[in-house]
Structure 1
Amino acid sequence: MKNKNVLGTAGGLAVLLLVFIGCGEKSGEKEYGKAMAAWKSGELVKAQTLLEKAIKKTSGNENKSAAWNQLGLILWDLGKVEDAADAFNESCVLADTITSANLNLGIALFHAQRFDDAEMALNNVLGKDPLNHTALAMMGLIAAQKQDWTGASRAITASVKVNPQSAAGRTALALTELQRNSGNAIKQLESVLSAYPDYAPAAFNLAVIYEQTLGDKNEAVRWYNHYLGQAGENGSHVDAASQAIARLSAPRAATPSGSDPVAARRHYADGIKLLTAENFNAAIRSFEQSIQAAPNQKDAHYNMGYAYFKLGQYNEAANAYRGALQLDPQYADARYMLCYSYFKLRKWSDAEREANALAQIDKARGEQMLQHISDNRKR
């Protein structure tokens, strides 16, 4: 059996979704053997081509199903999530008794954000194996995506009971606490790292919580660095962690000549022009340059947040609005947009907290947001 560790993301957080279960030798065909050798050596495109040829020559539903399952694993490694889901589905159609294919299908569909389809595939797994801890954990993650925190906690708790030694399960369980009590989530993740010091995803999760939920840049950078140290160069979130460290460290880096108000104003003016032209990515770069030249510009942070918001990058928008509020806690527009960003992320507790804070400085808009949150969190 070939095991693959798979990382999934949910609202920026990384959860190890246990294992992808591959298949051993089946048909003995030349192309299949070459495909497996190419996969193991990291030649993924070559492995895909060879396995597609092998599938055409393979006879018998069981063997063909196993080959489709293996192709799905290769496509997954290539980052082709939708294609991987299609391959796993072909495997299930040919031999629906293969639990691993249904499990892989459910995981791939989850990553493709096809949550209802993923739930159906995972229910097929649990119908045959009610104690499959991977499927239970996945069902919990789907419930979390649907904001059903009680259901998420119930499913992931069941998974951990089946496999109490699973660092992945305990990490997922900690994340279900995040919407209720970020302090408890942090304590549980630290407990995971105490028991499993080399389990990198728990460190990444801690970094994301400190950055996106608590706005603590120093702790976020510390945990991102911890993740990089544990994950090595092949970690699934190495790029994201490295970019986060650069982003969070940049405002503290002094320019050789110190603050440069002239350059700051120039970059800010460029950013406003680009924002007006709806060239949002370029606008973000200009606002970043303006902030680097003179960090204490609340409007630069605010408008950078607005550009991120227009791109649908609500976590990044929230980070920018928090930057503006650190400079001016009474900045009502920034408070409103921070609340709205959390609303878009369906982080109801955070949105409600910011709406209450907004009501202290802008009663009408604060109460309007509180009503909006109340109406939508019931759906």
Structure 2
Amino acid sequence: MKGQTSKIVTVSLLLNDINQNRQFFRIPDNIKGTEELKNYILQRYKPLKGILEGFVDNKRLIVQWYPEDVDDEAEKYHLKALQLSKKKEYLHAIQCWEKSIQLNSGDVEYLYKLGLVYFEMKKFREALGYLKNAIEICPIHYRSNLLMGISLTKLRKFGEAEKYIIESNILNRSNILTYLNLGAIYSIQKRFNEAIDMFNTTIKISPNEARAYLGLAKIYIMLNDIDAANSYLSKVIEMAPGTTMAEYARRSIRFTDDEDKTSTPSVESRQQKFTKGLVGYLSGQYESAASEYKGYLNTHPNDDYAWYLYGETRLRTGDLNEASDCFKRAVRIRPNRSLYHKSMGVTFYLSGKTHEGMQALKKTLELGKKDPLTLTLMGVFQLRMKHVDESIELLESALRLNPNNPLAMYHLALAHLRKEDRKKAVQIVDDILAFDFYLPIKHHAKNLKSKISASEGMA
């Protein structure tokens, strides 16, 4: 086992936990004894490559995997890749890990790290390929299972994601990320009882985990249990002061806490309107939310965040003029908030107001908000103004920040088409059509590809 000891992957499974999850493991009823359980688990996790061993220690089944061999040259590339990855020189790191795999394809760590670096680059589909291979080689590699699940979540494949994250959780009960991610999935699916269980378990393991308290707060907001929501939001502020989470929590809680507890019924009624607006917004009941926000703003006209939320609600109901007016009011009250300028830019994009949109997004950049959507929309505006090279530069910058950005991809294809680069345009369109999940822009991409094919046929 020369050099292999450092490569061992170990999981420790409570025998009682295995028996309580017989259905998950699909253990037949006739398998009862400890030795039979051990042999069954080893067979269940039989690797494609490498060596899997197991032994019982007191009340635990210890399962270990290690590669059949360790290649010194592959390890040199691996160590170099780790250094490059820390410097965020991802492309060079990828090249080194690929060389490691060429020299030793049976080392799960190389595959996992490649999956991780593609995940960091937001290239989730590429990450899935390496992570799937890692799990085949070492099925007990709980980190690969977890990252596989999170990547699938990013692609909105929640059912598949749940399976991999549960697998990771079974293999490593102490990792709070499994509980947090399952809680997030169940919240999205409105399986609130299960989500609450996951977040509460996180808190039992890590009492100061602010993300778990925030997850609970969002659930109770959707359940319209404001007292419970506020108590968890207060914990977020306490646990993570000065963070984006704390800022979100502060804004959410103040609508019931910033007035004296001896408030008159009319004040309480106004507070309830904002709370109901927030509940409606989070639940997707936008018309109801808009009505509540409007009632709240009649008596709180200087609340910039309320104007912003009202505008976001009107965006979703398609009332672009009213949304624009809301964001302008928010900007007048608090002009240095980049979020408000960005939302104005989105509204102008949807209403076809290119010049106004560019001005709003330039202000967004000046205030430090350089995110994929801002860069994408600026690229779209530049394309509308026939500034093709500037458009390509902005859209490529947006895609470097988030490669899974179909809006940027579609307009980048249009930009390359303007430059008569049909081959590049078709390649980008094919990438859009390769997305597994539903995208409205796929319809436009199909039409664009048909037009390109038709024009080539006429040439």
Using the size of structure 1 for normalisation, the TM-score is: 0.49
Tell which has more relative contact order, 1 or 2 (C-alpha 8 A, sep 6+): 1
TM-score (structure 2 length as normaliser): 0.41
